[in-house]
Amino acid sequence: MLDSMQEKPNFVFITGGVLSGIGKGVTTASIAKLFQFRGYNIRIIKIDPYLNIDPGTLNPIEHGEVFVTDQTWTFQPVDGFEFTISEIDLDFGTYERFTGMEVHPSQNITSGQIYLSVILEEREGGFLGRTVQIIPHVTDRIKQRIWEVVNKNPIPDVLLVEIGGTVGDIEAMPFLEAVRQIVRELGRFRTAVVHVTLVPYMISVGEFKTKPTQHSVRTLQSLGLQPDITICRAERKLPDSAKEKIALFCNIPTERVVSNPDIPVIYQLPLSFEEEGLGNILVEHFGMEPRTPDTSSWSGMVESYENATDMVVIAMPGKYTTLGDSYKSINQALADAAATCGTRIEIRWIETETRCTIESLTEDLSDVDGVLLTPGFGERGVEGMICAASVALKSKIPLLGICYGAQLSTVAFARNIMKWKGAHTTEVDIDSLYPVVDLMDEQKLTDTKGGTMRLGGHAVHIVKGTRLYEIYGVEKVHERFRHRYHLIDRYLKKMQEKGLKISAFDSTGRIINAIEFDDHPFWIGVQYHPEFKSRPDEPHPLYLGLIRAAMEYKKMRVK
C-alpha cells in the first residue's frame, strides 16, 4: 500500500456522530468548495456501509433517491464476475452540484463491494494458507479501493472521504479502522479528520447541550481517531462559550470548533465556513500554499436565491412523498431554476396512493402553477399519478413528466384524448388492451434487478420544430437514464394524429426519449432524468422551461 502513496493528495475524512441525516454530504461538498475557491483540485469518495453492491435496489423512502452517473463502471471483484454500476448514493448529487465535477461510480464504495471481492478472491485461492479476517484483508481492500480513486489522473490536491452512517455503527467499523491506518501511514499533517455532530438547543433551559458531541467524539477516539475539526450542527450559531466547552472536552483548539447553523439557502454553507475560517485552517493544517479564496461568482449565485421575491407552486404527485430526499435532485433542480428566474419555489407534495381520483386531484391541483410528475417504479400510487396527469391535461396546467412520470402522462393521454379504455403500462397491467408502455426488448432477457436497467449517459436526438428543440436550441444532447420500460412506437404514431409529438429519440431511432403535446401551454415528458445534470449556476433547460411556463400560468390564473 505504501508504494502507491504520492506526495499528494492530502486527505480529509468526514465522519458523523449523534444521529444520521445531519448533513455530512453538504458539509463534505462545502469543504470541497473551500479548496476550489483557492484553485486546488479535489476528488470525493463516499463510503456506504450497507451490504448492497450499490443503492439501485433500495427503497427511496428508506434511503432517498438513487443518483445516476454519466459513466457506467464495470465492477469486477474477480475474473468471471462483473457488475455494471451507474447508480450511486444521493450525496453524489450534492457533490456534483457544489463542485461542478462529474463523479465516477467507483467513487462510491459499499461494504457489499468490499466483502464480495474479498470472499470471491478467497474462493479462487487468493489467500491460500491464511485465515481471512477483517484486519488486514478487508481493511487492505478498502485502502486499495481508496488509492485506486486517488491514482486516477489527474491526481487531486485533496481527496475528501465521507464515511456514511454514524460513529458507533457496527457496519462502519472496518472503514473507520482503515481510516485509522491511513492516518497512521501518512501522518497527521497529510490527513484531517472532520467530525460532524449535533448540538441540540434546549428551549426549556435556554442552553446548547454539548454532551452528545462529547460522547460522540469519545466514541471516535476509542477507535483510534482524534478529530482535528468538529463541525457542530445546530438550530442557530453556537456561542463562544459552547465552542470553548466542546474544544476542552474534545481535545482540539477552540478555533477548530466550527458552527454550522440552519441556513435558508444550502449553497450559503461554504461561505459560512469561510466566515468561520475553516478554509484557512485546513490549508494551514496541510502546509499548503495560502491562497486568497475567490468567492465572488458563488456569492452572486447565492444572492440570486436570497433576492427572489415571487413564488410559484409546483405540485409533485408521486409515491415516495413521505421522504423529501426521495426526489432530492428534482427538488434542487426546481429551486435552482426558480432562483435563476427570480422567484422562489414551493413544492406541493401529493401522495398518490391516497389521493387517487379525478375529484381529489382536481382539488389538489386547483391552486398550483405547475406539475412535475415524478419518477418511480411499481404499481403503488400509479392511478393517482395518471389522474394527476389527466387533470393537468384538461386544465392546461404546465406539466413535466420525468421517466415513469412521462410514461404515465402518456397513459393519461391515451385514456383521455385517444379514448383507449384500459390503456396502461405492462409494469402494472400485463394484460392491457393498449400497452402504450412495455418492457424494452433487452430487459425481457434478464430476471436480475441490480444494475440491469438502461443506465447512465446516452445521446438524445431532438426533433427540429418541437418545443423540446426550442428549449435546448440544439439537435443532440447527452442525458442520464434509468429505466426498464419505454414508450411503444406503434401506439405513439397513432397518438400523433391527435397532437402528441415524439420530440426525441435515441441514436438508433428505436427508443422514444421524449414526447410533447402541441395543444397545451407546456406538456412535456422525457424518459431521462434531467435533474441529474442541473447545477445551481446552470439550471437544466427543461426545469427552466417548466418554471417559466408556471410563472406564465400563474399570471393567467390570478387575473
232 a catalytic residue: no
Q: Where are the alpha helices (DSSP H) in 194-239?
A: 211-222
Shared domain check, 463 and 353:
yes
- Given this model, what pLDDT does residue 7 score? 66
For residue 63, the model assigns a pLDDT of 86
Same structural domain for residues 510 and 458? yes
Domain presence at residue 170: yes
- Known catalytic membership, residue 531: yes
Cis peptide before 9 (omega within 30 of 0): yes
297 CB neighbour count, 10 Å cutoff:
10
Question: Alpha carbon of 102 to those of 70, 97, 105, 535: distances in Å?
Answer: 8, 9, 10, 11
Decide if 38 is inside a domain: yes
pLDDT in tens, the chain (559 residues): 444 445 679 999 999 998 888 999 999 999 999 999 999 999 999 999 999 999 999 988 888 999 999 999 999 998 888 999 999 999 999 999 999 999 999 999 999 999 999 999 999 999 988 999 999 999 999 999 999 999 999 999 999 999 999 999 999 999 999 999 999 999 999 999 999 999 999 888 888 999 999 999 999 999 999 999 999 999 999 999 999 999 999 999 999 999 999 999 999 999 999 999 999 999 999 999 999 999 999 999 999 999 988 999 999 999 999 888 999 999 999 999 999 999 999 999 999 999 999 999 999 999 999 999 999 999 999 999 999 999 999 999 999 999 999 999 999 999 999 999 999 999 999 999 999 999 988 788 777 778 888 999 999 999 999 999 999 999 999 999 999 999 999 999 999 999 999 999 999 999 999 999 999 999 999 999 999 999 999 999 999 999 999 999 999 887 6
pTM: 0.94
- What is the C-alpha to C-alpha distance for residues 69 and 506, in angstroms, rounded to an integer? 18
Q: Give the active site residue among 232, 250, 356, 403.
A: 403
Same domain, 335 and 456: yes
Last residue of a domain, one of 300, 327, 351: 300
In this structure, what is the dihedral angle of CA atoms 87, 92, 94, 99, given to the nearest 10 degrees? -130
What residue numbers bound the domain in which 207 lies? 2-70+78-112+145-300
Residues 261 and 315 in one domain: no
DSSP 8-class letter at 134: I
Q: Which of 96, 162, 427, 531 is catalytic?
A: 531
Q: Are both 292 and 361 inside the same structural domain?
A: no
Assess if residue 217 is contained within a domain.
yes
Residue 132 lies in a domain: no
Has residue 126 been placed in a domain?
no
Other CB atoms within a 10 A radius of the CB of residue 416 amount to: 16
Same domain, 453 and 384: yes
500 inside domain: yes
| Whether 360 and 255 share a structural domain | no
Helix axes 91-99 and 328-340, enclosed angle (nearest 10): 30
The yes-or-no answer on residue 403 being catalytic is yes
The verdict on residue 530 lying in a domain is yes
Is the CB of residue 109 less than 8 Å from the CB of residue 48?
yes
Residue 284 sits in the same domain as residue 421: no
139 occurs within a structural domain: no
Enclosing H/E stretch for 296: helix 296-306
Are 320 and 274 contained in the same domain? no
CA 523 to chain centre: 26
The number of residues in the chain equals 559
Rounded to whole angstroms, the Cα distance separating 108 from 161 reads: 10
Q: How far is CA 477 from CA 409, 459, 473, 495, in A?
A: 23, 6, 10, 25
Domain boundary (266, 300, 334) is at 300
Strands (E), 418-517: 424-425, 435-439, 454-462, 476-483, 485-487, 500-505, 512-517
How many C-beta neighbours within 10 Å does residue 254 have? 12
Residue where a domain stops, chosen among 300, 323, 348: 300
Read off the C-alpha cell for 179. 481510516
Let me know whether 32 and 156 are in one domain: yes
> The CATH number of the domain where 220 resides is what?
3.40.50.300
Q: What CATH number is attached to the domain comprising 531?
A: 3.40.50.880
Same domain, residue pair 455 and 529: yes
The H or E element containing residue 99 is helix 91-99
pLDDT score, position 355: 94
Rounded CA separation 529/483 (Å): 10
Instruction: Check if the beta carbon of residue 470 is closer than 8 Å to that of residue 522.
Output: no
- Verify that 314 and 259 share a domain, yes or no: no
Backbone angles phi, psi at 351, to 5 degrees: -80, 105
Strand partners for 84: 74
Q: How many domains does the chain have?
A: 2
Check: CB of residue 429 under 8 Å from CB of residue 41: no
Distance CA 340, CA 312 (A): 13
